[in-house]
Amino acid sequence: MIVSLLENLLASAVSKQYKDQGVVCPVNIRINVYEVGALDNIDYNPSSTTSKDTFHGTAISIFQCHTKGNCGDCRERVVIDPSSNSTQDHSLPENYTNVLAVTTNISEVVVPSAKMTESQCDLLEREKLLEFEWTDHAIQLLFKGQLDKDNVISWAAFHASKQIHVENSNFLSTLLPLFPEKAASLSISIQNKFQLWPLISHCLL
């Protein structure tokens, strides 16, 4: 009984904070630290013979990279109001839950004109050299009689071995409330923009 009461009070307090700040920003997210967001479909197909429903919706994840020199700043704490034990409001702000209806004419797609200029940066050439380096590395291992324990073969492992190690780096990830709409819909793609930009701006105070 007490645990259930605390859960309801905490959920109501978090919901109130979302509404007061005007953005759905999980309480464990820190401010003034590098972060990225990702949107993807989330599918739940229960294998139980007694299950009746499946879920095919959308999830938005936030990832933050903390380093030794910058772990970010803590946000304001969630304050539980003991006097609100009789009321339970777990609702989210309408600007988060209301997914706008969007239509598009796929038979007449108008692509705006854009002026493209050739980049003078040599970044592309450097990346090509890295790809050739991995290819040569993989070919040498292919003809090697026996691999050593520290040999890296895959593309990901090879490039990861070339990265500079950052001391005491750690990542924080959190999941925003799910959307029942599919990620492939145009409405959700636009909703993603409406949710991520305010959240990122809120964390860069």
What is the spatial distance between Cα 149 and Cα 147, in angstroms, rounded to a whole number? 7
- Segment 85-93 shows an average pLDDT of 76
CA-wise closest residue to 13 among 59, 72, 76: 76
The answer to whether the pTM exceeds 0.75 is no
Instruction: Report yes or no: 11 and 90 within 8 Å, Cβ to Cβ.
Output: yes
pLDDT tens by residue, 130-158: 889 999 998 998 888 888 888 888 999 99
**Distance between CA atoms of 150 and 160, rounded to whole angstroms?**
13
Can you tell me the mean pLDDT for 160-166? Answer: 78
For 82, what's the count of Cα atoms within 13 Å in the CB-facing half-sphere? Answer: 1
Q: What integer best gives the mean pLDDT of the chain? A: 82
User: What's the confidence (pLDDT) of residue 171?
Assistant: 79
d(CA 141, CA 137): 6
Q: Give me the mean pLDDT over the 150-177 stretch.
A: 82
Beta carbons within 10 angstroms of residue 60's beta carbon? 23
Q: What is the pLDDT of residue 168?
A: 59
Mean pLDDT across the stretch 34-46? 82
Averaged over 155-173, what is the pLDDT? Answer: 80
| pLDDT above 70 (res 74) | yes
Mean pLDDT of 164-191: 81
Select the more confidently predicted residue: 83 or 156: 156
